Amino acid sequence: MASALRLLEVKGLSRHFGGIRAMDNMELRVEQGEIVGIIGPNGAGKSTFFSVVSGHQKATAGRVVFGGIDVTSWRPHRIARRGLIRGFQANVLFREHTVLWNVLVGCQIPVGFTLLGTLFNVTSTLAKQKQALEQAYEILDFVKMAEFSEQRASVLSYGHQRILSLAISLAARPRLLLLDEPTTGMDADQLETMLNLITKVRDSGVTILLVEHNMRAIFKLCDRIAVMRAGTKLADGTPAEIKSNQEVIGAYLGGGAVDA
């Protein structure tokens, strides 16, 4: 694929905590429009990878190039402004505020919590407020949650809280969205809804990096899969290549673990 389409390039990326190598010499390339899955056992370094790529943790070594620009160890809000967004976690929803309010906050602040208090200063003009409202409703329509817009986040079902957190991430207008276990704790129906939504997000033009333990979901959804072990990349390839990679099967998938 032409390098012009390369959205993310990670080279030799490491994050050490004293002697602990949470991530070590990680490599990954992501082309625009892909869904790339990252799998690996607990403690493999998947979340650390997301934290360092999105600027929430500093790299000990290595480079993160996003959209052709070296963003290594930039602050998260600066990286987010360029369109690299780490998914909002469901447990930090503004539970006592409405669904609409939560999404509006996302529209205003791809920069994190700091500007929350100044939400209405930022949207100081009516025109801006109107624009933000339109965008928020558009996103709620997109995730099929418009009917819940006036409900408090705290009364939503667990599945809808997870979808709301996705909506908040979308409000930040990602070009690349990092989703860390978005289906954890979901029942089969919620899982199906979330997977369809992730595909819909990709089809709308957002490139996605997905950490997910559900192997059926990973193998169904992803164009490519990277396998992490002990902080580094063990292998990557198409779902078919990963399924038949003996080293991966031995290290992680186990016999018959992938029958999707």
Binding residues for Mg ion (CB under 5 A): 46-47
Look at residue 20 and give the partner it binds from Mg ion, ligand ADP, none, a contact being a CB closer than 5 to 8 Å depending on partner kind. ligand ADP
Residue 17 sits in the site that holds ligand ADP (CB under 6 A) = yes
Token code pair at residue 27 = 């490599």
* Residue of 45, 55, 87, 182 interacting with ligand ADP (CB under 6 A): 45
Min dist. Cβ of residue 86 to ligand ADP (A)? 13
The piece of 28-36, 40-48, 69-77, 185-193 that touches ligand ADP (CB under 6 A) is: 40-48
Residue 53 within binding range of ligand ADP, rule CB under 6 A: no
- Cβ within 8 Å of residue 223, ≥6 positions away: 34, 35, 36, 238
* Residue 102 interacting partner from ligand ADP, Mg ion, none (CB closer than 5 to 8 Å by kind): none
Which residue among 1, 5, 12, 43 contacts ligand ADP (CB under 6 A)? 43
Distance CA 41, CA 49 (A): 14
202 binds, among ligand ADP, Mg ion, none (CB under 5 to 8 A by kind): none
55 near ligand ADP, judged by CB under 6 A:
no
| 207-to-8, 106, 122, 189, 257 alpha-carbon distances in Å | 10, 19, 28, 24, 27
**Closer residue to Mg ion in complex, CB, 39/104:** 39
Check residue 2 for interaction with ligand ADP (CB under 6 A): no
Q: Is 46 in the site for ligand ADP (CB under 6 A)?
A: yes
| Tokens representing residue 54 in the block | 């999105």
- Shortest separation between residue 46's beta carbon and ligand ADP, angstroms: 3
Residue 173: C-alpha distances to residues 6, 15, 83, 150, 206 (Å): 19, 27, 6, 22, 9
Query: Among Mg ion, ligand ADP, none, what does residue 232 contact (CB within 5–8 Å per kind)?
Result: none
Look at strands 224-229 and 232-237 and give their pairing. antiparallel
Asked if residues 110 and 172 have their Cβ atoms less than 8 Å apart, the reply is yes
**CB of 57 or CB of 135, closer to Mg ion:** 57
Question: Binding mask 200-239 vs ligand ADP (x if CB under 6 A, - otherwise)?
Answer: ----------------------------------------
Tokens standing for residue 40: 């690996």
For ligand ADP (CB under 6 A), the number of binding residues is 11
If the CB atoms of residues 132 and 225 are measured against ligand ADP, the closer one turns out to be 225
Residues within the interface to ligand ADP (CB under 6 A): 17, 20, 22, 40, 42-48
